[in-house]
Amino acid sequence: MLDLVSVFALTAVPMTIYVPPIRNLNLFVQRIEGFLRQSILLTLSTYPRLRFALSRIYNNIRRSTRRRVLIGI
């Protein structure tokens, strides 16, 4: 049991180097929130355009295959 505790303690200590202090996390979280806000606005404005473009492409493909079937090609 003591071996298990010592192994866990020795592996957990280096991980504390990678965890920033709490006072630095606030700025990080603030930047992430700003990035998400900007990306959501871009996504909301891009999605309808992309959907419209894809529907036009799909309709053209569907019409061309329909014409081929009607003509007998």
Question: Which residue range(s) make up the domain with 63?
Answer: 2-71
pLDDT, position 55: 93
Q: What is the arithmetic mean of pLDDT over 43-66?
A: 87
pLDDT, position 71: 66
pLDDT, position 46: 82
Q: Which two tokens stand for residue 42?
A: 């871009």
**Residues 30-43: pLDDT tens digits?**
888 899 888 888 88
Is residue 73 scored above 60 in pLDDT?
Answer: no
Q: Which two tokens stand for residue 46?
A: 């891009």
Domain count, the chain: 1
d(CA 45, CA 39) in angstroms, rounded, equals 10
pTM of structure: 0.40
